[in-house]
A and B are shown apart, each in its own frame.
Chain A
Amino acid sequence: MAQLELDAVRKVFTDDDGSDIVAVDDVTVDIEDGEFLVLVGPSGCGKSTTLRMVAGLETASGGDIRLGGRSIVGQKPQDRDIAMVFQSYALYPHMTSRENMSFGLEESTDMTDEEIDERVQNAAELLDIPELLDRKPAELSGGQQQRVALGRAIVRDPEVFLMDEPLSNLDAKLRSQMRTELQRIQEDLDTTTVYVTHDQTEAMTMGDRIAVLDGGELQQAGTPLECYHRPANRFVAGFIGEPSMNFFDATVRGDRLVADRFEYGLREAAVNDVAGAEGVTLGIRPEDVEVTPGTEPADDNEFATVVDVVEPMGNENAVYLGFGADPTDPFVATVGGMRRVEAGQRVIARFPPDAIHLFDATTGEALHSRSLEDADPAEPRI
């Protein structure tokens, strides 16, 4: 087990016509010993490429990758002490689960057969699959194959686990089950882990820290709640959280924000943060929007809206609201599942001033994040 450092790692692919495509652009992130880091981002953001560079399956075009203080750039994958779990599991179809799991130990160590057998047995028990050891992959369900693939990585007892969207081929129920189980195993083994996913729920729930990538660039690295409550920019704010944060383009006029369809009064703290900025983007999370029945806004933080669509989720309702009578381009608010809200209903939407985020309209940088003063001090949210 060791610390893994990515230092300005870069990957450039050269296209057939000679043009360069930058897949990963100067990504710098340190993963502490025993830490679970989740690399998250939309497809094509370079997260898998980053992982494959750590594995040695792609060569880095620039920068350095250090494992335990030692540079591993230029080493063959065979010589790096890492284990990888693939999205497709990549189990060898002609081998039984036991052979699949012992293959790595046979190839990378000079352990005796008994030692290998013991390790495989232990890993199988940890994963609850001892009875599957003599079956071939074709005779296993997706979830079972997943466990064997994990077992294949675990028996190696490597410095680093690399996982490339390992849960994305499972159905929703099994996925959330495996999510918890993976976390438990990682805590038990305390092995440094880099986990790639495009699913922000996995990122939020599993990672000690998450690194958000977009367009090959690192947007933010921090704890899940940091990324949620203190997004570094508009992209992170929009990517983390489900349903996504609502955004409104506006211009600053003194202590007021003027948007196309509404004006919003800013508090002093926010006014100071946006000083000097011309165009800003107002962001508010759906669960922070307060929806009350009524037609008359009481102050400049409230707006008269009409319910366009209601999506009941059971525990909550996602309510799409349009300003005034205009149903185009609605924004989302979530309200309790027991509340009765119907399409066409007129409601007041309130954006609480301490829950708003403000971003620079051109660069997307965060200027102002929500206040956390109402957070429970006994359980700090960050």
Chain B
Amino acid sequence: MREFLSTARSRLRRAAGRDAGSDGDAERADGDGDSALATDGGTAEAGADVAPAGGTDGLLDRLDDRFGEDFTESAPFWLPPFLLVGLFVYGAIAWNFVISLTEYKGFVGPDYSDLDLDMYVRAVGDSAVIDATVNTFVLVVAFTIVALVIGMLLAILVDQKIRFENTFRTIYLLPMSLSFVVTAQFWLWMYNFNNGVVNIALGAFGIGPVDWIGNPQIVLWAVVFALVWQFSGYTMVVYLAGLRAIPTEHYEAAKVDGASTAKMYWRVIVPQLKGSTISAAIVLMVFALKAFDFLYSLVSGYRPPNGADILATKMVREAYSTNNWAYASAIAIVLFLMALSIIGPYLYYEYDKGNL
């Protein structure tokens, strides 16, 4: 029995040695004459047949030198997700860009031999795309600013050491947990021309009825209002955290310095919320760019109400309603650049502060 165990153990050890031996590093330890010489330097003196192994080893060493000593050892952990993200995110973006350079439309596959910027030229001249761009811009800016202002006011009110503070916080945050589909549905009911809550309420004051969804002048603002309702709670929570980080002494010092409450907030407290404002604004803008789901659910289709067409809806409509694949890709790239122009400066700001 004991003999069997010891032979098994030595056999296992040998197997392990061979396994490790296949790894360039361990070969040196094995003391296997020729290959030891070859792997050590990986230079021209090594025999021609083992040169490739030596070459890889040298490359790995150089990678380790360049990116830190654990670079190759840790590769099994970070490399797979790195490649997956690279392929499916950045690869897809690149492929999308290439498609936007073709004339791909209909059911015939794209022709990659003829690449030009025709689709972008067409987009610049297309009044529908220009309208959609303007709408997207208005939506992003108006929604972000209004949500920030309302969120900050709510946060300041909730921060007054009031009773049931946690309850208020939860109530204001709840709309954020609803999906766009749900909010779109019930704002559709609220905005209903004949029996929506909004028109009934306004009717009590003798205003209206207003065609919130049907009037192209108004519909975008109605959408902004609904989105603000959904996201100002989130902004409030971000600001509340920012307010909590400001020491009480700053309020007290400002009061003793003779500042009125409004001046105290405006000159001492709000400027210290700069960090919260930036991070909340980034999230809000990205959500505004993604407002496609909201508009899609509002009308249950690709054609949003007149006056509320944004780049996202236009892009999807071009792609899936009219099969203008290349044109839709070009619009997608425009949208992508808009998002990048928001995220890019933010990433740089964070990098500059040493947070990245």
Known: A107-B259, A152-B257. A90 touches B267 (CB 8 A): no
Name B271's contact: one of A57, A94, A152, A162 (CB within 8 Å). A94
Q: Which of A79-87, A127-135, A212-220 contacts B (4 or more CB under 8 A)?
A: A79-87
Q: Given A88-B249, A90-B250, A93-B272 in contact, is the A76-B255 Cβ separation under 8 Å?
A: yes
Q: Which of B252, B259, B263, B271 contacts A90 (CB 8 A)?
A: B252
Majority secondary structure of chain B interface residues (helix, strand, loop or mixed): helix
Bound CA–CA A55/B260 (angstroms): 15
For this complex, into which size category does the number of interface residues on chain A fall?
20 to 34
Distance A74 CA – B352 CA, assembled complex (angstroms): 48
B343 at the interface (CB under 8 A from A): no
Contact A86 B249 (CB under 8 A): yes
Which residue on chain A has the smallest CB distance to residue B270?
A94
Q: Which of A79-112 contact B (CB under 8 A)?
A: 82-84, 86, 88, 90, 92-94, 103-104, 107-109
Q: Does A77 contact B (CB under 8 A)?
A: yes
B263 and A107: CB pair below 8 A?
yes
Q: Which residues of B contact A56 (CB under 8 A)?
A: 255-256
Tell me whether B256 and A83 are in contact (CB under 8 A): yes
Interface size (B, Cβ < 8 Å)?
A: 18
Is the pair B252, A57 in contact by a Cβ cutoff of 8 Å? yes
CB-defined contacts of A152 to chain B, threshold 8 Å: 253, 257
Whether a CB of chain A sits under 8 angstroms from the CB of B274 is yes
Q: How far is it, in angstroms, between the C-alpha of A62 and the C-alpha of B252 when the chains are bound?
A: 22
- Is A84's CB under 8 angstroms from B258's CB? no
Query: Would B256 and A57 count as touching, CB distance under 8 A?
Result: yes
Whether A103 pairs with B247 at a CB distance below 8 angstroms is no
Are B274's CB and A94's CB within 8 A? yes
Is A78's beta carbon under 8 Å from chain B? Answer: yes
The residue of chain B having its C-beta at the shortest distance from the C-beta of A91 within the complex is: B253
B232-281 with Cβ < 8 A to chain A: 247, 249-250, 252-260, 263, 267-268, 271-272, 274
Smallest Cβ-Cβ distance to B260: which chain A residue: A78
Find the A residue at minimum CB distance from B269: A92
Which of A55, A88, A92, A93 lies in contact with B256, CB distance below 8 A?
A55
Whether the pair A82, B256 counts as a contact (CB closer than 8 A) is yes
Residues on B lying within 8 angstroms of A by beta carbon are: 247, 249-250, 252-260, 263, 267-268, 271-272, 274
Q: List 12 A-B contacts (CB under 8 A).
A: A78-B255, A83-B256, A84-B256, A92-B253, A92-B254, A94-B271, A94-B274, A103-B257, A104-B257, A107-B257, A107-B259, A108-B257
**Chain A residues within 8 Å of B, Cβ to Cβ:** 55-57, 76-78, 82-84, 86, 88, 90, 92-94, 103-104, 107-109, 152, 156, 162
